[in-house]
Structure 1
Amino acid sequence: MTLSADRLAALDAFIIDLNRASAEVILPLFRADHGLEDKGAGKDLPPASHAAFDPVTEADRGAEAAIRALIAKTYPEHGVIGEEYGEDRPDAEFVWVLDPIDGTRAFISGLPVWTTLIGLRHQGRPVLGSIGQPYIGEIFLGHAGGSRLLSRGIERRIQVRDCPALTSAIIATTDPDACFDGAERAAWLQVRAAAKLARLGCDAYAYAMVALGKMDMVIEAGLKSWDIEAAIPVIEGAGGVVTDWHGQPIGQHGGQMVISGDRRPLEEALVALRRSAK
């Protein structure tokens, strides 16, 4: 079934409601007592593994519960995949993919670069997404009709910027020491050496900055579906591209990922990344 313009518009309005519902839960807990737990505790993992400390807070769980409740009330036939509460009808025609707080480490550190990621699949394909930062007051939204930013009551279209070469690019990743294995880290270092500037620790907020035309590329590995699916329509709607490290469309299960506003630096980066592609 084709997704009509009217239905897409209704879902676009609904994703804003979902962002507001999650923000009502999260904001009172940011820089407050957030009920921190470690999901990695007790797991047989190397001490240096990025998964050895896997924080989750009351805000993560409460926000996802709020989003799920509103979806169930409004669209009970839709499926949901979320980081905190798993899968519910993942083969439905419409499936919401949720990460209530992407960047929980930033959240517990009091840094406002965490985001709420809400994506929608239609017949298995990402068609609508949002990257929300309610503390700053921003929601980045995207679909095939374009991407836009809602901020402090103002709405405006956004687009990626031109970047003729990797040497002109501002690039980002979350934590190369923790998130990349040895070969992946070597590939990242090669790309970083060629780039103009690299920023670390921004999680999915860096995705939004590519869509906004302030950064040029984000490179990550080890992603889950909820880490990236919401960003795909935002980046593509702004004129950018999302691929795996082979340069192919990223699958539903995440993995290695490159977001780029311009294809020219992407092609240069892929020369290094393909050597460590899985």
Structure 2
Amino acid sequence: MTPNALTDIEIAHEMADAARAAILPYFRHRELTAENKLAAGFDPVTAADRAAEQAMRAVLAARCPDDGIWGEEFGREAGRSGRMWVLDPIDGTRGFIAGTPTWGVLIALSEANGPVLGVIDQPYTGERFVGAPGIAHMTGPHGDCALSTRATAALEDAILFTTFPEVGTGVERAAFTAVADRVRLTRYGMDCYAYALLAAGQIDLVIEAGLNAYDIQAPIAVIEAAGGIVTDWQGGPAHAGGRVLAAANRDLHRAALDILSAY
């Protein structure tokens, strides 16, 4: 039992609420500046990223002091419980600084074999997607509903999302394009919101490469709870990041995997 008898879901909600409060004053604020974390390329971080992760870490310090924490901005702290909270305070900082509402807060609780609980929260739209064993649920401005992935069976009928037009290396781009050439519709630039849409039954596939664990663990828990499947491009576990294939169902997953695994 966690301190104060709160459940893990309640603690995740408390963290998501704290992150919302920390982030929203910065969103679409014209004075917001971004630092670049890369010597070559562009990987931005803002005061909002740091404030949100600090707010979530404060919740964990009070509620789960024995659990480990792995956050994008402040690194990894070992715990004593064997459990790890994996946090991305703003997944999609590029979108955040551009003013698009496609970024989100990612919260996962991970154990030895991967995530067992996940939250994808979009503070600006007020949408929250939650997945855990026996729980697949979203709340938003238009009410609450269960999450359930689509039954689309053929690639030719599928909607595919990724974050950037340039997916990984040249080989990875070729693999993505081979799938994109088969589907009905391909869209770009959605960051973690694409995974939320997959869990909500709006799209069918998300294919990405070069991910970190904190980019994908929360989406894995949410999508799997909603009936979907998330693996790497060889069909193995994806919770460490890297190349990721998320699909609404096993038929679509197999069809896409047959193409990706050849690269």
TM-score bracket, shorter-length normalisation: over 0.9
| 1:193-212 equivalences in 2 (<5 Å) | 193-212=181-200
Give the structure 2 partner of residue 103 of structure 1. 92
Cα distance in structure 1, aligned partners of 2:164 and 2:56? 28
C-alpha distance in 2 between matches for 1:123 and 1:217: 27
Aligned: 1:167 with 2:156: yes
2:161 partner amino acid: A
Map 1:1-278 onto structure 2 (within 5 A).
Answer: 10-32=7-29, 33-40=31-38, 43=39, 45=40, 52-89=41-78, 92-152=81-141, 154-177=143-166, 179-250=167-238, 252-276=239-263
Give the Cα–Cα distance (whole angstroms) in 2 for the partners of residues 206 and 141 of structure 1.
14
| Per-residue deviation, 1:157 | 1.0
- The Cα shift of 1:34 comes to 2.5
Distance 2:135 2:55 in 1: 27
Q: 1:176: how far off?
A: 3.1
Compute the displacement of 1:92 (Å): 4.0
> TM-score scaled to structure 2, two decimals?
0.94
> How far apart are the structure 2 equivalents of 1:158 and 1:268?
23
Q: CA deviation at 1:153?
A: 7.8
Q: Deviations 1:161-214 (Å, cap 9, x if unpaired)?
A: 10111001000111132x411111011111001001011000110000000000
| CA 1:148–1:189: 2 relative to 1, 3 Å | same
1:81 touches 1:90 (CA, 8 Å); kept in 2? no
Q: Distance in 2 between matches of 1:107 and 1:181?
A: 25
Aligned length in residues:
260
Instruction: Give the TM-score normalised by structure 1.
Output: 0.89
Shift of residue 115 of structure 1?
Answer: 0.5
Structure 1 gaps of 5+ residues are 46-51
Distance in 2, matches of 1:74 and 1:125, equals 21
Q: CA RMSD in A?
A: 1.7
- Measure, in 1, the Cα distance between the counterparts of 2:229 and 2:116: 14
Give the gaps of 5 or more residues in structure 2. Answer: none
Identity of aligned residues (%): 43
The aligned amino acid for 1:253 is A
Q: Check the 8 A contact 2:67/2:80 in 1, yes or no.
A: no
C-alpha distance in 1, partners of 2:94/2:206? 18
In 2, the alpha carbon distance for the partners of 1:96 and 1:248 equals 22
The CA deviation at 1:125 is: 2.6
Which aligned segments of 4 or more residues in structure 1 are displaced greater than 2 angstroms?
Answer: 122-125, 152-155
Secondary structure at the counterpart of residue 117 of structure 1: strand
- For 2:220 and 2:58, locate their aligned partners in 1 and report how far apart those are by CA, in whole Å: 24
Whole-angstrom CA distance in 2 between matches of 1:56 and 1:120: 23
- SS of the residue 1:275 aligns to: coil
1:125 alignment partner AA: G
Q: Partners in 1 of 2:258 and 2:141 — Cα distance?
A: 41
For 2:9 and 2:225, the matched residues in 1 are separated by 13
